Amino acid sequence: MPAVSKGDGMRGLAVFISDIRNCKSKEAEIKRINKELANIRSKFKGDKALDGYSKKKYVCKLLFIFLLGHDIDFGHMEAVNLLSSNRYTEKQIGYLFISVLVNSNSELIRLINNAIKNDLASRNPTFMGLALHCIANVGSREMAEAFAGEIPKILVAGDTMDSVKQSAALCLLRLYRTSPDLVPMGDWTSRVVHLLNDQHLGVVTAATSLITTLAQKNPEEFKTSVSLAVSRLSRIVTSASTDLQDYTYYFVPAPWLSVKLLRLLQCYPPPEDPAVRGRLTECLETILNKAQEPPKSKKVQHSNAKNAVLFEAISLIIHHDSEPNLLVRACNQLGQFLQHRETNLRYLALESMCTLASSEFSHEAVKTHIETVINALKTERDVSVRQRAVDLLYAMCDRSNAQQIVAEMLNYLETADYSIREEIVLKVAILAEKYAVDYTWYVDTILNLIRIAGDYVSEEVWYRVIQIVINRDDVQGYAAKTVFEVRALQAPACHENLVKVGGYILGEFGNLIAGDPRSSPLIQFNLLHSKFHLCSVPTRALLLSTYIKFVNLFPEIKTTIQDVLRSDSQLKNADVELQQRAVEYLRLSTIASTDILATVLEEMPPFPERESSILAKLKKKKGPGTVTDLEEIKKERSSDMNGSAEPALNATVVTTPSPTEDLLGLGPAPVTNSPPPPPTSDILLVDVFANPAAAVAPLAPGSDDNFASPDLASSEVVSEEPADTVHDADELFHKFVCKNNGVLFENQLLQIGLKSEFRQNLGRMFIFYGNKTSTQFLNFTPTVICSDDLQSSLNLQTKPVDPTVDGGAQVQQVVNIECVSDFMEAPILNIQFRYGGTFQNLSVKLPITLNKFFQPTEMSSQDFFQRWKQLSNPKQEVQNIFKAKHPMDAEITKAKIIGFGSALLEEVDPNPANFVGAGIIHTKTTQIGCLLRLEPNLQAQMYRLTLRTSKEAVSQRLCELLSEQF
C-alpha cells in the first residue's frame, strides 16, 4: 500500500472527532454534528471548487457521522468524484464511503460502475485492489451483472499480480454466493484450477476457497482439482516449518490452506487414480502421525492450528469411509481427546466419533471408549458436551451393549438439563425398541422412562409400547402385572402418561392377572379410578373406555362400574366427550347381552407394523436434509456386523417371533404409489415385504406355496444383457460382499444407495436414487437385468419408481428377492434418464451374491471337525493361498467373516490365530452346509482359505467372494 504523506493527516477531521468525544450530553453532540453538517453542505454547494484533499476530509466527516448513527442524505456525488482521483488516499476514502453508504438502487450506481471499470482496466495493482474490494463489499446483483464476466479474466490472466489475484478470487467468491446464476462457467474454470499450483500461497488459499464453493454446485467442472489439491497438500504436510516460513503459524505450516484443501477434497469421492489415492493416504497418515508428536510450543495457538488440521483430516477420512486402517487410527486419536482438559477438544472428539461410529470399519474401535463416554455423561460441566456424549452413546449402541447404554442414559435422564430431556427420551425409546432381546426388558425400560421423565414422553412413545404389547402374546401378562405394581400405578406420584398406559393395558389384559387376590378385578378398578380426578380430559376419556372393557372382562364388578358411569359427575359432565362416553357406555352395559358385549368389546387386533413413529419424530427434531435416506445409508452398519436384528416377516400374523428377529419391525415400509395387490390365488409371486396391511398369509421358508414362477409381465426384470459398460463392476461387487448397506455408485449427477436385508432364502433390497444436481431427471427408468441362467436361480420382483426425480431429491425402489437355487452371476442394474436434454445410460452390478443367503450355525469343536471330515471329497473342497491386500488386523478379519454370513466359531481351531466359520446356504430347493477355515501368516503377509461344502460350484464361488475381502 502506498505510504500516506504528511498532509494526509486531516487535522480538521481529528479536531471534529475530538469535539464529539468531549461533548457532555447527547444534545451537545447533536448540536455539534448539525453545525458540522451545515458547514459541509455549504462547502459542497459553494462557488469555490474544492480540491481533492478537502473533498476527502469532508467525505470522511460524513462517514464518521453516519457511523455514529445519523442519517446522511448528501455528499454521495463528491464521494463518486473521489474515485477519479489519482491519489491513493482520496480514491480509498471514496471507495470506503460508497461501500458503506451507497445502496444498490442508487442513481449513482452507473457512475460508480464506470469508475470501477476504469480502475480494473488501469492495470495499477493498488487501484485494481480497491475496486475489487468495493465490488465484494457491495456484492449486489447489479455489481454481479456488471463485473461477473470481467473478474474471471483478471483472475486467470498471466500478467496479474499475486495480490490482485487474491482479491479477484475472493471478490468472485462473494459474487457467486450472492448471485450464482450471474457468474458464467466458461474456459476460465479449467484455468482457475491450476491456481492451486501457484507459487504464492496467498493466491492458493483464496483460490481454494473459490474452487470449493464452485465445486459444490458444479462438481464435474472442477474434478481435476482433486489431484492438484492432493499434490499441494502433500507438499505442505511433508514440509518443515522453515520451508514455508511466511505461512507458518506457531510451527504449523500453512494451517488455513491445509484445512481448505481438506474441505475441497470432501466435495468428491475417493480418487480413482491409485497414485493420487496413495498419495492422499500418505498425507492423512502423516497428519495423524504428527498429532502423536510432542508439541513444539506450549502456546495455545500452536495446539489450535495443529488440531484444526487434524480434525479436518479426520472429517475427510470419515467422508471417504474406504480405508479401515485410517478410520481405526482416527478413532484412537479422537479417543485421546475424550479426556483432554480443553472442553472444545472433548466436544469435537465426541462429535466426530458419532460419525465414526456409523462406519462398519471403525464401529468396534469406537465401542472400546464406552466407559470414557459414560464417565463424560456423568462428570462433564458443559451441557453441550454432555449432549454430544448422549449422541455418541446412541450411535455406538448395538445388541451387545444396548442394555448398558440404555441403563446409563436412564440414570442420566434424572439429572439431565431440561433442554435435552425430550431428545434423550426419544433415543432411549428407540434403542430399547430396536435392540430388545426380550419384551419384558423393553416394557420395564419404557415404564421406567415414563416414571423418570413423564413430562417429556411424547404420545408417540406410549403409543408405541401399547402397539408392541398388543402385537405380542408372550408379553401381555407381564405388561399387565408390571403396570399394576408399586413402582407404576400404585406409586403415590404416578405420572399421567403412566395412567394412560396402565389404563389401556389393564383394559385389554387385566384378566391375565385377575387370578391373584392382590390384583383382583375390584382392586384394579379402584386403583385406576383413584387417579381419575387428577387426570386431564383425554386421559379420563381413556379410563372410561377401560371401565367398559372391565364390564366385559369382569362381570362381577359391573354394578360398581355402572354406579360410576351413572353418577352426576359423569352424566352431567361439562365436557361433551366425557358426557357422551358415560351415557353410551352406561346404556351399552345395561341393554347389551353378554355375547354382544363380548363382540363389541373384544381385544384390539394386532396393529400393522410400520416404521417407528418415534424414529420419525427424532428425525424431524434433528432436521433431516433433502436426501436424508441416502446419507443414512452411509451411516448404516451391516446387521451381521453389529448384531442388530433382522426384520420379522409379516409381523401382523407371526405373533411370537424368535428372539433373533427384529422385535419391533423397524425396517421402513416400502414406499409405493399403487396399493398392494389383493391376496388372491391368482398371485404368482407373493410380495413377502409388502405393506402388512395386505393380509398376506405367513410365509414358511422353503414352502412351495410361497413362491411360484414370477409374473414378469408386471415386473421390470428382463433377460437381456446390457449394451453399455458396467461401472467398476469388481470393486463395487467386492465392497458389498460383507455388508448390506452403503453407497453403490456415485458420480457428479447421481448417487445410488442400498439398504438390504436377507432371511434364509428370501431378501429385500431398498435402492435409493439421489439426484445430486439442481435439475430434474426426466424419463428415469431403472431396470434389473438377469441372464437366462440367473433367472432360473433367482426370482426378483421390482416395484416401479416415479419417472421424474426433482433436483436434490431422491426416489426409492424396492426389490424382493428369492433364491431358488445356487447361482454364480449377479443381476445388472441399468439406469436410463434425461438430464438437461442429454440421455444418460449407466449400469452397475447389483450386489446380490450367494453368501447373502447364509444362516450362521454354531458348532462345538468336535462337531465341526466331524463334519469337516465328512466333506473330504476333493470336489467338495476349494483352497486358495493369496497375498494380503489389506492390513492383517484380527478384529477387522473377524468382522468380515461375520459380515460374510457365517458364524465365527471361537476356540475350535487348535491354532488360536486361525479363523473358523460355519453356516448354511438356504435356497428354495435345497440347503447347503458350508465350513470355512482362514489361516493368516503375518510374517509372509499371506492367507490360506479353505472352504468345504456339499457342492463344488458353491465352494468355488464362496472362496472367490471371500478371498477378495482380505
DSSP secondary structure, 429-448, as one string: HHHHHHS-SSHHHHHHHHHH
Annotated ligand binding at 835? The verdict is no
Give the Cα separation of 679 and 541 in Å (integer): 38
Residues 6+ apart with CB under 8 A from 826: 733, 790, 845, 846, 847, 848, 849
**C-alpha cell, 501:** 398406559
Cβ(297)–Cβ(262) below 8 Å:
no
SS3 451: helix
Query: Which of 411, 472, 417 has the alpha carbon at shortest distance from 442?
Result: 472
Burial of 427: CB neighbours in 10 Å, binned 0-12, 13-18, 19+: buried
Annotated ligand binding at 52? The verdict is no
Give the Cα separation of 457 and 927 in Å (integer): 47
Annotated ligand binding at 61? The verdict is yes
Give the Cα separation of 4 and 7 in Å (integer): 8
Annotated ligand binding at 59? The verdict is yes
pLDDT of residue 703: 36
Give the Cα separation of 517 and 526 in Å (integer): 14
Residues 6+ apart with CB under 8 A from 321: 327, 359, 361, 634
Written as one letter, the residue type at 82 is L
Annotated ligand binding at 572? The verdict is no
Written as one letter, the residue type at 330 is A
Domain ranges of the chain: 9-74, 102-184, 188-320, 436-600, 740-848, 851-964
Beta strands in 271-405 (DSSP E): none
Q: Which residues of the chain have pLDDT under 50?
A: 1-7, 624-729
Give the Cα separation of 553 and 511 in Å (integer): 6
Cβ(893)–Cβ(932) below 8 Å:
no
Give the Cα separation of 904 and 916 in Å (integer): 6
C-alpha angle 394-396-399 in degrees, rounded to nearest 5: 95
Q: What region does 297 belong to: left with phi over 0, alpha with psi -120 to 50, or beta? A: beta
- CA atoms 55, 59, 62, 68: torsion sign: negative
Pick 740-848's CATH classification: 2.60.34.10, 3.30.360.10, 2.60.40.1230, 3.30.70.20. Answer: 2.60.40.1230
Cβ(500)–Cβ(539) below 8 Å:
yes
pLDDT of residue 682: 34
What separation in angstroms does the CA of 806 have from each of 105, 624, 749, 809? Answer: 35, 17, 12, 5
Annotated ligand binding at 535? The verdict is no
Residues 6+ apart with CB under 8 A from 379: none
Annotated ligand binding at 123? The verdict is no
Cβ(341)–Cβ(353) below 8 Å:
no
Q: Do domains 740-848 and 851-964 have the same CATH topology?
A: no
Q: Which residue has the cell 454354531?
A: 858
Count other Cβ atoms within 10 Å, centred on residue 709. 11
**C-alpha cell, 715:** 415386473
SS3 300: helix
Give the Cα separation of 378 and 79 in Å (integer): 62
**C-alpha cell, 135:** 465490488
Whole-angstrom Cα Rg for the chain: 36
Residues composing the chain: 966
Residues 6+ apart with CB under 8 A from 788: 719
- CA atoms 796, 799, 800, 805: torsion sign: negative
Annotated ligand binding at 57? The verdict is yes
Kindly give the pairing relationship between strand 942-949 and strand 877-883.
Answer: antiparallel
Residues 6+ apart with CB under 8 A from 263: 212, 312, 315
SS3 764: strand
Pick 851-964's CATH classification: 3.40.50.170, 3.40.50.740, 3.30.310.10, 3.30.1330.100. Answer: 3.30.310.10
Query: Which of 297, 300, 285 has the alpha carbon at shortest distance from 330?
Result: 285
Written as one letter, the residue type at 888 is M
Query: Which of 933, 934, 936, 927 has the alpha carbon at shortest distance from 954?
Result: 927
pLDDT of residue 933: 87
Give the Cα separation of 877 and 559 in Å (integer): 76
Give the Cα separation of 702 and 925 in Å (integer): 7
Instruction: Report domain 188-320's class.
Output: mainly alpha
Annotated ligand binding at 11? The verdict is yes
pLDDT of residue 644: 36
pLDDT of residue 206: 93
Name the strand (E) or helix (H) holding 550: helix 537-553
Q: Would you tell me the crossing angle of helices 537-553 and 558-566 to the nearest 10 degrees?
A: 150
Burial of 682: CB neighbours in 10 Å, binned 0-12, 13-18, 19+: exposed
Give the Cα separation of 859 and 906 in Å (integer): 9
Strand partners, 835: 777, 838
Q: Would you tell me the crossing angle of helices 459-471 and 496-509 to the nearest 10 degrees?
A: 20
What separation in angstroms does the CA of 939 have from each of 432, 589, 883, 888? Answer: 45, 82, 11, 10
pLDDT of residue 735: 78
pTM above 0.85, yes or no: no
Cβ(773)–Cβ(220) below 8 Å:
no
